[in-house]
Amino acid sequence: MVGANFWLAAGKPGQDVPGKLVSGIHRLYEQGHFLLVDPQQLATELALKEEAMATKPHVVFAAEERSLPAQQESLELFLEVLPAYYPDLYRLEGEGAARSVTITFPDGAEKSYALADFADRPLELCGRLVQEDFALLRVSDEPGPHPQEAKHVMTAASVCFSFHGLAEKLGTTTLSIHAPVPGFEEQLEKLLNRTFTALQPDKPIWRNNWAAAYTGDLTMPSYNVGGPGAQLDAMGGTRPPAEALWLKTEYQTLRRLPRSKAILFTIRTMVQPMSEIGGEAARVLHKSLSGMTPSLREYKGVPGEAADELLLLLEGIMAAEAEEGVVAAEGAAAAAAPVSAR
């Protein structure tokens, strides 16, 4: 399992150019990085999904009827990839309509699903198998300004950890989905429409995103998509100090499905105490946060003085790691010196 810090440092989260949003899109060359399964957290996070699907199914799953072929194509892709890359965790049995998929957790416990039970909602089964959230995008019935800039709309989604408001977002464009992001329409919408239109099945892409979360609860909203102060309201009005914040990272992939032509959007959400992220991730976050507009800082969960406090914390993490590096280098040099020179 590749950690959150690796994906954060490898991408371009937020605004690396002051005052300008960047997409941070990269080619995804390794199929093994399509779905990231963390065996140690798999049972816990899938249990959170099971609970959400049982208690609020219309909140965490939504789909247009026309999305069913794309949902099925997504499930077939999962059933191909998961046993191949995680053979100790996933097992596919049976044939045709009698097929089932079994998850074997590290403690030996197993959970099996009959594919026939999800014939009308295959994407929900995808969500029960892995830690990612998913959305399927189709070309909008409304033409874009140019053939190379087709608008895309969300046609199905299974989400527990990444975003909310499925009922309002189903059938809407990427602009509507990203409407809370300050500057998205002016700086990124046209680029993403072009990127989605040109996306080919054999050339998937990835990017990342981050927010300062007030709790390590994966199900708690982080981005202030409910308006300014949404996270603060969820926490009872108390904003935690910078050292008590959590880093919430999203590793996202997009790929064109060859038969349905839909785009499968995966979102793997990870959380980690901000004080434990390490120097490399701290440098990336510091650069990103330093270039953000006040409105984007608000969206990320660190408005006003909270952003300044976080910048100081990140500088402290970087300084501490640099000091550790100096001490380690001095120790290595002393150990390598000839006895006569000691």
Q: What is the pTM of this model?
A: 0.87
pLDDT value of residue 339: 57
pLDDT value of residue 122: 98
pLDDT value of residue 227: 46
pLDDT value of residue 299: 85
Residue 16, domain member (yes or no): yes
Start-to-end C-alpha separation, the chain: 43
pLDDT value of residue 228: 45
Residue 61, domain member (yes or no): yes
Rounded Cα distance between 147 and 144, Å, is 7
- Per-residue pLDDT tens for 111-162? 999 999 999 999 999 999 999 999 999 998 887 677 677 788 999 999 999 8
Cβ contacts of residue 115 below 8 Å, gap of 6+?
75, 97, 99, 100, 101, 122, 125
Residue 222, domain member (yes or no): yes
pLDDT value of residue 232: 61
Q: What is the mean pLDDT of each run of 10 residues along the chain (342 residues)?
A: 66 64 85 91 96 93 97 97 97 94 97 97 98 94 74 92 83 69 75 88 92 87 53 67 92 96 95 92 90 87 93 96 69 62 52
pLDDT value of residue 16: 59
pLDDT value of residue 78: 97
Residue 56, domain member (yes or no): yes
Residue 332, domain member (yes or no): no
Overall domain count for the chain: 1
From edge to edge, which strands make up the β-sheet containing 61-63? 26-27, 205-213, 246-256, 263-273, 133-139, 152-158, 61-63
Residue 218, domain member (yes or no): yes
Supply the Cα-derived Rg of the chain in whole angstroms: 22
Domain ranges, residue 231: 4-325
Residue 336, domain member (yes or no): no
Name the one residue in this structure whose structure tokens are 């608008």: 151
Rounded Cα distance between 258 and 69, Å, is 11
Residue 109, domain member (yes or no): yes
